[in-house]
């Protein structure tokens, strides 16, 4: 489970940002995870308590926003969600040539400090 390492990296990054800005308490960390990424949100949520245990962030909440896996058909320019479409074909023209627009991201979107 590589999510544990990812969560520890997020916590270390947020700790660094908190130090740079003289913050002593972080209320919430908001992450954005693309639905086509290799990161599993429920594993991130499961690892988070262990990663913040013993730190000044042990009361910090975690929020996760899922970003859609959207693609654009190269043939007809139709934008569609790859997961919802359940296949690689454009629902409009049935071609399988598309470019990824979103869905592979993993970002720290927001750090809410008290």
Q: Is the dihedral of CA 14, 15, 19, 22 positive or negative?
A: positive
The per-residue pLDDT for 1 is 57
Q: So what CATH class is 3-113?
A: alpha beta
Instruction: Provide the 8-state DSSP code for 67.
Output: E
What pLDDT, in 10s, does the model give residues 14-27? 999 999 999 999 99
Widest Cα–Cα separation across the chain: 55
The H-or-E segment that residue 16 falls in is helix 3-20
- DSSP-based three-state secondary structure for 81: strand
What pLDDT, in 10s, does the model give residues 80-99? 999 998 878 999 999 999 99
For β-strands 26-34 and 61-67, DSSP reports them as parallel
């Amino acid at each position: 489970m590589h999510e544990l390492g990812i969560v520890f990296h997020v916590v270390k990054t947020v700790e660094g940002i908190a130090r740079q800005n003289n913050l002593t308490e972080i209320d919430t960390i908001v992450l954005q995870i693309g639905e086509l990424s290799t990161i599993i949100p429920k594993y991130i949520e499961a690892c988070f308590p262990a990663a913040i245990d013993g730190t000044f962030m042990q009361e910090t909440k975690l929020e996760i926003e899922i970003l859609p896996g959207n693609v654009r058909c190269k043939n007809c320019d139709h934008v569609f969600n790859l997961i919802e479409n359940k296949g690689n074909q454009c629902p409009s023209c049935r071609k399988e040539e598309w470019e990824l627009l979103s869905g592979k991201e993993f970002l720290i979107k927001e750090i809410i400090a008290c």
